[in-house]
Structure 1
Amino acid sequence: MQIITRLDELNIQDKTAIAIGKFDGIHLGHKKLLKYITDQKQDGLKATVFTFEPSPEEFFVGHPVRQLFTRNEKRKAFEELGIDILVEFPLTLETAATPPEDFVKMILVEDLKADFIAAGTDVSFGDKGRGDQYLLKNLSKELGFELCLIDKVMLDGEEVSSTRVRNQVADGNMPMVTRLLGNDYCVCGIVEHGRQLGRTIGIPTVNILPSANKLLPPFGVYSSIVKIDGKEYNGMTNIGRKPTVSSSNQVGVETYLYDFNEDVYGKMIEVRLKKFVRPEMKFDSIEQLKAQIENDLEAAIR
């Protein structure tokens, strides 16, 4: 997958099918949109995602916003969905002020060779967000690209949106998050050396430090599936600060893997959260902690 992050890289030679959006959480609605452009690959078009970096929400608010997908997680997801070109359009005061007509004509059509454009009916782009579905309709006739506008996807009578996904993550309702995304909620990271306390009590774990801007569910224990080197392992994951054994404010993601005892330090792993088991707790002793972990393992297996 080709990744474009600078304005001087926008000159594409092949005709493209472009999906425009924030893609702050790649949920069922986004996947429906992406399916329209990947279908165009059979006609020789390059499936292209046009999004913004930083996100419009973060840019206009002026401070970091917790993300459902980190930048690397988003890139990985797009590649797995069959995207050929990912444009992370640099959002600045200057580029944000681009007249919407120029945005379509000069950037999407001239620079990116758009032959097919897909967007949600609530699409907004260009100076002060003046670009909308109606402008796209008018320009599609003038500039000769095919336009596909996608209605919102509904689930259980409610609209699927990134806000809805965020709310469910905040509630720790991972089964609903899975339904809204079409896949499990993941936390990715490189396995770090921890205190290795788990090994001393017979419960070795793998530890990752989540990205600072990653939106995490409530601290606690979750049943999980961990992907390492393309293979999947059942596990039990603790998200939090481990108050029984640490006074640090560092938030970690620590996972015990069933029937696994390999050295994976330095490897990138993907932790998929399945279901909330219990909140994070502080115990009076290591023995109490070990007993609780053994109970958690049985609960996670069930």
Structure 2
Amino acid sequence: MEVSPIGNNPEFVIKFYLPSALPSALRVLCGAKWPISFAFWRPMTTMQTPLKHYWQGMIFPRCGQCSMRMVGLHRCPMHPVFSGMMSCDNALIGTRGNLFRNSERMSRQRILCLGKFDGMHRGHLALLRRAAQYGAPTILRMTGMATVLGWIPRPPLVSEADRPRILSQWSAQLGHPIDVLRWPFAQLRHLHAQQFCQILAQDMHADVVVVGSDFRFGKDRQAGIEELCEEGRSVGIQVAVVPPELDEQVMISSTRIRSALAIGAVDEARRLYGRPHALCGRVVAGDGRGRTLGFPTANMGDVSNLVPAQGVYAAHAYLADGSRIKAAVNVGTAPTVATARESRVEAHLLDWSGDCYNQALRLDFIERIREERRFADRDDLMRQIEHDVQRVAIACDQRLEGES
């Protein structure tokens, strides 16, 4: 077992190997009834150590309810456990991604940006810009709302796999690292404004909270900016309110982006995002019809986010090795060469040859070239594809010139 202090604070990090009977061990270590908050990382068990897991815990004195003090998201397991913690009975609450990464994280000011951050668009970036005026921002994502409220499931605008890339770009723009925490909607939907702000202050140790002017919270969304400012002051939180980010005099929102993609307006979506709409998936085997036409395609499967309307698009394809390639993308059923086929995403990679099957693929949509339609015969189709490829090359070149 290793015990080491964190700076000059009366706090300790404990690292040790233990069998699964952790609760009993903690009683012995602490000499009290659950006066400890701890994080854990459990690697894959092996045949050699089937019962051993690696645990890292942190003991914090003076909890608000049983004389032990917790830092950040860590709370005494004797009391309600916040997202991201492992309680002493081995019940996982939330996700490991919510835990503090190091002691430096505990000492600096915490600035929280509240919202769903589902579309990661210019409006969200405006919140982070305001937060960055105070220091390194932390996104607090409200997640799981659709499931809790029984809404019809729909694909996300941004793939979870692509979020780190976007956050990295934003971090470079802001000059600060960006942390992300998750707050399950099921845990906050019935909170009153006072309870909501107390959690922000006591459990998350928020110093500054940044929200949009339309932010609503609390039980039945009854509370708004006025209540947040009032309750925030009572617990020592400064509230910063950011006005809406506008495009053509209309507020930017995830709903607007979805509406644009529903009609194939990827250029409008790009304006609202501040970047191209990116479709993420994996290259899977197709039926080989594109190759017989002289235009082989990479067929995208396992698509993890919202696909634009059917049509032909100019895009940049990014392969697993990081290479960027111009791509003519068809979203649809290919009615000229196939019948009764489900809609697919097929990308012809310009001036490229090779094997990319089973590799990750990202398509950044630049422009919609035309709608999908049925042609009289294969010759008409091939002539149209040749014309499409020319237009795609021009659109991609213009996009690159605009970036430079």
CA distance in 2, matches of 1:298, 1:157: 35
Q: Secondary structure at the match of 1:233?
A: strand
The equivalent of 1:278 in structure 2 is 370
2 CA distance for matches of 1:191 and 1:40?
Answer: 43
Q: 1:216 aligns with which of 280, 297, 307?
A: 307
Matching of residue 97 in structure 1 with residue 187 in structure 2: no
Q: Which residue of 2 aligns with 1:179?
A: 271
SS of 1:253 mapped into structure 2: strand
The DSSP-based 3-state class of the residue aligned with 1:272 is strand
Amino acid at match of 2:372: E
Instruction: Specify the alignment match of 1:62 in structure 2.
Output: 151
* 1:52 equivalenced with 2:52 (yes/no): no
Q: Give how far 1:51 is off.
A: 1.4
DSSP-derived class of the 2:207 partner:
strand
- Structure 2 residue aligned with 1:126: 218
Alignment pair present for 1:191 and 2:283: yes
Residue by residue over 1:130-186, the C-alpha shift from the partner in whole angstroms, topping out at 9 and shown as x without a partner, is: 232112211332222222110001222222222222222222222222111111111
Q: Check conservation: 1:17, 1:114, Cα contact below 8 A.
A: yes
Distance in structure 2 (CA, Å) of the matches to 1:11 and 1:262: 42
Corresponding residue for residue 226 of structure 1: 317
SS for the counterpart of 1:73 is helix
Partners of 2:282 and 2:235 in 1: how far apart? Answer: 46
Q: Name which of structure 1's ranges 81-90 and 171-180 shifts more when overlaid on structure 2.
A: 81-90
- Over 3 Å counting, the alpha-carbon distance change for 1:38 and 1:249 in structure 2 is farther
**Structure 1 residue 284 displacement after superposition:** 4.6
> 1:270 corresponds to which letter in structure 2?
R
1:258 corresponds in structure 2 to 350
Structure 1 residues 210, 249: CA separation in 2 closer, same or farther (over 3 Å shift)?
farther
Whole-angstrom distance in 2 between the partners of 1:28 and 1:86: 17
CA contact (8 A) 2:229 2:238 kept: no
Give RMSD over aligned pairs.
Answer: 2.5
Partner residue, 2:181: 87
Aligned length: 291
Q: Decide which of 23, 37, 44 is 2:131's aligned counterpart.
A: 37
1:72 aligned to 2:166? Answer: no
Per the normalisation by structure 2, the TM-score is: 0.65
C-alpha distance in structure 2 between counterparts of 1:248 and 1:88, whole Å: 42
Pairwise CA distance, 1:91: 2.7
Further displaced range: 68-77 or 144-153 = 68-77
Corresponding residue number in structure 1 for 2:208: 116
Q: Percent identity?
A: 25
- Equivalence for 1:26: 120
Distance 1:196 1:272 in 2: 23
Q: CA deviation at 1:210?
A: 5.6
Change (3 A) 1:261 1:164: same
Q: SS at 2:284's partner residue?
A: coil
What residue in structure 2 maps to residue 244 of structure 1? 336
Q: Which of residues 291, 296, 305 is equivalent to 1:204? A: 296
Q: Which moved more, 1:23-32 or 1:68-77?
A: 68-77
User: In 1, Cα distance between the equivalents of 2:169 and 2:202?
Assistant: 28
Distance in 2 of aligned mates of 1:8 and 1:288: 53
Separation in 2, partners of 1:117, 1:157:
26
Q: Deviations over 1:19-67 (max 9, x none)?
A: 10122322211111122234444xxx4x31111222x355424321343
SS state at 1:88 partner: strand
Structure 1 consecutive aligned stretches of length 4 or more whose deviation exceeds 6 Å: none
Alpha-carbon displacement from aligned partner over 1:66-86 (angstroms, at most 9, x marks no partner):
432233334542344235432
Deviations 1:229-253 (A, max 9, x none): 3332211111112223334543321
* C-alpha distance 59-77 of structure 1, shift in aligned 2 (>3 A): farther
Aligned counterpart, 2:67: none
Structure 2: runs of 5+ lacking an equivalent = 1-82, 85-92, 172-176, 395-404
Point out the more displaced range, 279-288 or 16-25.
279-288
Rg larger for: 2
- Structure 1 segments unaligned to the other structure (5+ residues): none
Structure-2 separation of matches of 1:87 and 1:29: 19
2:326 counterpart SS class: strand
Does the 8 Å CA contact 2:197/2:232 hold for their aligned counterparts? Answer: no
What is residue 296 of structure 1 aligned with on the other side?
388
